[in-house]
Amino acid sequence: MSAPTVTRAEPGAMSHRQIMEALSGLLLVLFVAMSSATIVATALPKIIGSLNGSQTQYTWVVTASLLTATATTPIWGKLADLYSKKLLVQLAIVLFIAGSIVAGFSQTAGQLIAARAFQGIGMGGVQALVQVAIAAMIPPRERGRYNGYLGGVLALATVGGPLLGGLIVDTSWLGWRWCFFIGAPIAVIALVVLQRTLHLATIRRDNVKIDYAGASLIAAGVSVLLIWVSFVDSSFGWISWQTGALVGAGLALLAIAVRIESRAAEPVVPLEIVKQRTTALSILASLAVGMAMFGGSVFLGQYFQIGRGYSPTEAGLLTIPLMAGVLVSSTISGRMISNSGKIKPYIVAGTLLLVAGFAVLSVIDHQTPLWYVGVGMALVGIGVGMSMQNLVLAVQNSVQLKDIGAASSTVAFFRSLGGTIGVSVLGAVLAHRVTDSITTQLAAAGVPAGSSGGDTSSLNLAELPAAMQHIVRAAYGDATGHIFLLSAAIAVVGVIAALLFRQITLRSTIDLAGAAPEAKSAEDESAIPAGSISR
């Protein structure tokens, strides 16, 4: 049983100014984490090319950070229900900085993948804990208004990140390594701001147990399945002993994890919360939205650079319609939700627009007019802005404050899991189609694939003859549309889940009615005596 939670007697216990001061630190933290991923988005083709990496390694540079972020998100969320949220946010930032610096010094694609995996641990903590801290300060009814600020920061990070990444890569005296180094000073500023502004209520709890076994099994099971996705149909067949071994092992590990979670005193993924209708549907929709959004958008930078021949800076500029859509829709829908208290119509509309956007992008090739690509990206961005954060809000509205961390991180976990699976699956499909296309076109031109670098990195275009560059660009440009078609099909699942939601009216209190305010409050979690446990 969970300990009694802290509640606020009045919804306005914190003034708007106090909330904005605390929110400034949290949003700065989120900006650091999100911009790290988007800076890499446009720079990654050149990074992998300079490290002589492959398409599979390109995918794993993205997947590695998503995987560790996914695996650790439930742990961060559970820890937030038990310990100091402020301290945990600061710890996540430090881990993120360390991973970023190591990534900047990487000498091979393998080292970069490992560094990104470590970086993902901090990234998962930041993404989960920012949502948890906001939920602990602001009632759900008012949270929609503040979600507009959240959406604005996400849009700024996702718009500014690709542009900044492109400029860094295109600036000879900087180089791609500064895509990782540049976040460190911003993160230090975030630490200082949080130390001064973040003050949350605390409680003491005894006999705390974290389900590390369940979390480890979940991470191991997901990792095994993703390894299978990455190599099936290239290194071994769909029907082979390798497929049987990997799929069987992955499913067995996840089954054991579910059994352990059902018996754990403090499960990282609380099954009683997952079984609730709102949470279950939010998880299903988040899984689909994450799979479609991460899996689709991650390859846009590659499409513009490899498939269309634009520079990293130009590729960043060309993705602005996607990010502008997120900014506008999240801000407007957030305020409308706060005014009405209704959330289902916006989630349904968002998932429908997401499907429409990917359907538009599903027919692009290496010669598609840019205005058409821009329309598709704008629709995807609007859909993401109206659905992603609101799915978390729907779950937060249905649980007590004592379970906010676990509930929020559970939705974030499945969203990241969807993104990880999406990037792996779509990346594998893209690599397979590109390889087949390049091989076919080389054979038609009378050139053996191995004689022109076909068995090395097809992303290192600078070392290829002009004729080969054209073949590679056409292959990537034409194959990208197919992965967006898969993204559209996956996003349909999100629409179905959104339609099955009951009508939800957001509450105007921090905690559910009936929660007992027996815990001791404190102005600052950092003031807790050693050995005590806070939330």
- Domain match, 303 and 377 both: yes
- Domain match, 28 and 114 both: yes
Q: Which of 203-207, 240-244, 404-408, 504-508 has the highest mean pLDDT?
A: 240-244
Q: Is residue 236 part of a domain?
A: yes
- Domain match, 162 and 247 both: no
Structural domain for 74, as ranges: 16-211+264-527
CATH number at residue 100: 1.20.1250.20
Do 517 and 9 form a contact (C-beta atoms < 8 A)?
Answer: yes
With residue 64 as reference, give the H or E element that holds it: helix 55-80
- Domain match, 257 and 286 both: no
pLDDT in tens, 265-308: 777 677 777 777 888 888 888 887 777 666 666 778 778 888 88
Task: Enumerate residues 6+ apart whose C-beta is below 8 A from 231.
Answer: 56, 242
pLDDT of residue 149: 73
pLDDT of residue 305: 80
Number of domains, the chain: 2
Q: Is residue 44 part of a domain?
A: yes
pLDDT in tens, 17-64: 777 777 887 888 788 887 777 677 677 778 887 887 776 777 778 778
Q: How confident is the model at residue 155 (pLDDT cuts 50, 70, 90)?
A: low
- Domain match, 121 and 249 both: no
Would the pLDDT of 110 be above 80?
yes
- Looking up tokens 């815990």 gives 519
Regarding predicted confidence, which is higher, 58 or 116? 116
Query: Across all residues in the chain, what is the average pLDDT?
Result: 76
- Domain match, 257 and 369 both: no
Task: Enumerate residues 6+ apart whose C-beta is below 8 A from 107.
Answer: 51
Question: What burial class does residue 367 get, using C-beta atoms within 10 Å of its C-beta: 0-12 exposed, 13-18 middle, 19+ buried?
Answer: exposed
Q: Is residue 420 part of a domain?
A: yes
Rounded distance, CA 198 to CA 200, Å?
Answer: 7
Regarding predicted confidence, which is higher, 189 or 149? 189
Model-wide pTM > 0.75: no
- Domain match, 422 and 519 both: yes
Mean of the pLDDT values across residues 326-341?
80
Rounded distance, CA 39 to CA 460, Å?
Answer: 19
Token pair, residue 162, equals 């690709």
Q: How confident is the model at residue 15 (pLDDT cuts 50, 70, 90)?
A: low
Question: Percentage of residues in the chain with pLDDT exceeding 90?
Answer: 6
* Least reliable range by pLDDT among 148-162, 185-199, 305-319, 388-402: 148-162
Q: Is residue 49 part of a domain?
A: yes
* Least reliable range by pLDDT among 146-155, 509-518, 525-534: 525-534
Helix residue spans in 171-211 (DSSP H): 178-181, 183-197
Do 76 and 409 form a contact (C-beta atoms < 8 A)?
Answer: yes
DSSP 505: B
Do 257 and 242 form a contact (C-beta atoms < 8 A)?
Answer: no
Do 335 and 486 form a contact (C-beta atoms < 8 A)?
Answer: no
Report DSSP letters for 517-534, one per residue.
Answer: --SPP-S-GGGSPTT---
